Amino acid sequence: MTIQQSASRSRCRVAVTGGPGAGKTTAVDLFRRELGDVVVVVPEAATILFTGGFPRDGSPDVRRAAQTAIFHVQRNLEDVQGITYPSRVLLCDRGTVDGAAYWPGDRAAT
């Protein structure tokens, strides 16, 4: 990890979380419109990956691989937005912890 990445990870982040179709993206857009240049939106990694063709499957191994990819893409999106907009609050459409709800099996065992 570079110094810039370390600094970007220590900044203020707000994650909007909830189940599918709960209105997270709509809420994020409303916050962005209301707050303007105070925030920068970090898009949802799962949407980016799945609409881009990342495989979806109900098997535990595929779900585990997908959630791992989502976690890493989300972290890197946060890093990029933090480096690009260093003075803004990161407003995340979902966050890295959301993947725990979709992790197959016993999360404590991983």
pLDDT tens string 52-86: 999 988 889 999 999 999 999 999 999 999 999 99
Q: Encoding tokens for residue 62?
A: 């595929």
Task: Yes or no: say if 41 and 93 are a contact pair by the CB < 8 Å rule.
Answer: yes
Residue 86 CA to residue 109 CA, distance in Å, equals 37
**Is the dihedral angle over the CA atoms 4, 54, 95, 42 positive or is it negative?**
positive
Domain regions of the chain by residue span: 13-87
Query: Residue 77: its pLDDT value, please?
Result: 95
- Position 101 pLDDT exceeds 80: no
The pTM for the full model equals 0.78
Q: How far apart are CA 42 and CA 93, in angstroms?
A: 6
Are the CB atoms for 65 and 104 separated by under 8 Å? no
Pairwise CA distance, residues 3 & 16, whole Å: 27
Cβ atoms of residues 65 and 49 within 8 Å: no
